[in-house]
């Protein structure tokens, strides 16, 4: 169910788009969910025109797709897309980690540590969306230190695009009590940043994204087998 509380942007179509996008990336609207224009318009309290525009923008962002006899639905998860998206993330985020580790300040390292602590608390409490939010906030601090806003914005767009994959990976890993892969790499990344260790930061990011790809790939395969 789409939340009825609209976000802050001024234009009505922007409000509807950001509301729907948040519901998709946070898992409130799962893969395959039918985006019925009139139903959504009634839920958010608008006419159908802003909803149609918002759904079109979701399709452009790769978060929705057209399915015969169903119309627009929240995009499903595929192994091919997972590999493609995470390959691009590795290219960009290794570079961002290197540049950020070189330039980051002690004050920003403290902010990274604070986000890491909040992330660990979210893991302990099983709050997957909060875990992902704090993980991305921690990485944003490091990547922003690279002083390349285009690089940072491109990475954040990819995060939105692959949030559903991240949710699958985090949920599946939380079920394994002995698995430390949700926090071990972030701990090591904070340590590398604090030492301005460019090589270590790049290596940690590379290992983290390879591990995430493998874990999510296995979980998707298990889900497919179970169907």
141 and 90 within one domain: yes
Cα separation, 20 vs 61, in Å, equals: 12
Single out the residue in 55, 74, 93 at which a domain terminates. Answer: 74
Range of the domain at 169: 79-226
Domain match, 58 and 116 both: no
pTM value? Answer: 0.79
Domain count, the chain: 2
pLDDT per residue as tens digits for the range 48-92: 999 999 999 999 877 899 989 889 999 888 888 899 999 999 999
171 located within any domain: yes
Residues ≥6 apart with Cβ < 8 Å to 103: 145, 146, 147
Instruction: Kindly report, residue by residue over 131-188, the tens digit of the pLDDT.
Output: 999 999 999 999 999 999 999 999 999 998 888 889 888 988 887 656 799 999 999 9
Residue 20: CATH number of its domain:
1.10.10.10
Position with higher pLDDT, 55 vs 31? 55
Give the domain CATH number at 185: 1.20.120.530
- 201 plus 98 within the same structural domain: yes
């Amino acid at each position: 169910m789409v939340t009825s509380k609209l976000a802050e942007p001024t234009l009505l179509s922007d409000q509807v788009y950001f509301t729907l996008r948040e519901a998709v990336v946070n898992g409130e609207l799962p893969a395959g969910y039918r985006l019925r224009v009139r139903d959504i318009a009634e839920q958010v309290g608008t006419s159908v025109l802003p909803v149609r525009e918002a759904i079109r923008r979701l399709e452009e962002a790769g978060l929705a797709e057209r399915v015969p006899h169903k119309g627009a639905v929240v995009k499903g998860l595929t192994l091919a897309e997972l590999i493609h998206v995470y390959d691009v993330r590795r290219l960009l985020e290794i570079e961002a980690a290197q540049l950020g580790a070189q330039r980051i300040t002690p004050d920003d390292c403290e902010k990274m540590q604070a986000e890491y602590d909040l992330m660990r608390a979210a893991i302990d409490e099983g709050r997957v969306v909060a875990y992902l939010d704090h993980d991305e906030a921690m990485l944003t601090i490091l990547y922003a230190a690279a002083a390349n806003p285009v690089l940072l914005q491109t990475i954040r767009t990819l995060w939105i695009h692959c949030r559903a994959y991240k949710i699958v990976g985090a949920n599946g890993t939380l079920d394994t009590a002995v698995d430390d892969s949700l926090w071990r790499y972030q701990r090591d990344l904070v340590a590398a940043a604090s030492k301005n260790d460019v090589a270590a930061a790049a290596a940690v990011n590379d290992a983290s994204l390879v591990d995430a790809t493998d874990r999510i790939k296995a979980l998707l395969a298990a889900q497919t087998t179970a169907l």
